[in-house]
Amino acid sequence: MPTETEKPVSMNLRERRREQTRNDLITAGLEIISAEGIDATSIDKLAAHAGMSRGTVYAHFEGGREELLQEAYRRVGRELVDEAQKLAHSGSTWRDTVMAYARAMVSLAEDRQLGYFYNVAGPALFGSRLERGEGSSASLAAIHNELLRAQDRGEIDSGVDANETAVLLIGCLREAGIELAREGMDPAKFLAAFDRLLMGLAAA
């Protein structure tokens, strides 16, 4: 019988295993989406792809397919921000840092199915039941802070409202993501146009 000191360790192990199973199921969902699209993500296919039973899927996602897809959507948002932050580290100017978020959106769009899931299908399915996505929220905060820092250094016009401008830039990225996902926009032209917008914020 486990001692009192062993119980927390055992509970932590169970929690880690549960979290790993949830992550494995989300990964399976994203792999199916990437290969076949969101319509292919049935519970049976998710279970088979992850090597688990239907019961296991429902044990970890009581809301079934929709709950799992919501978590997958959140993960893609986090990975989008992670990619942007990696790209931003290699930049040397505030414009490089902000442009990193546009480049990350283009990178996501290169995976047509995942890009479509994140920018079009996901929001259409359950966008009204989610607050602003994690990716958008984190990107908004990062861009806002970068604009403020650049303004403090005198690199951005003092008349620019960093908060409102960050919201507008996020709106641009969101709309561009939709167009990129629908293959209605050329990635290179999008990046060039976004950069020109940023140039307009620079101090004279």
| Long-range Cβ pairs for the range 173-176 (8 Å, 24+) | 173/101, 173/102, 173/105, 173/139, 174/119, 174/136, 176/102, 176/105
1-62: in CATH 1.10.10.60: yes
As a whole number, mean pLDDT of residues 180-191 equals 95
Identical topology for domains 1-62 and 74-204: no
- pLDDT bucket at 1, cuts 50 / 70 / 90: very low
> Which superfamily is assigned to 74-204 in CATH?
Tetracycline Repressor, domain 2 (1.10.357.10)
Higher pLDDT, 54 or 125: 54
Residue 31's Cβ-count burial label (10 Å; 0-12, 13-18, 19+) is middle
- pLDDT bucket at 182, cuts 50 / 70 / 90: very high
pLDDT at 41: 95
What does the domain layout of the chain look like in residue ranges?
1-62, 74-204
pLDDT at 11: 62
Looking at the predicted structure, is the pLDDT value of residue 202 above 60?
yes
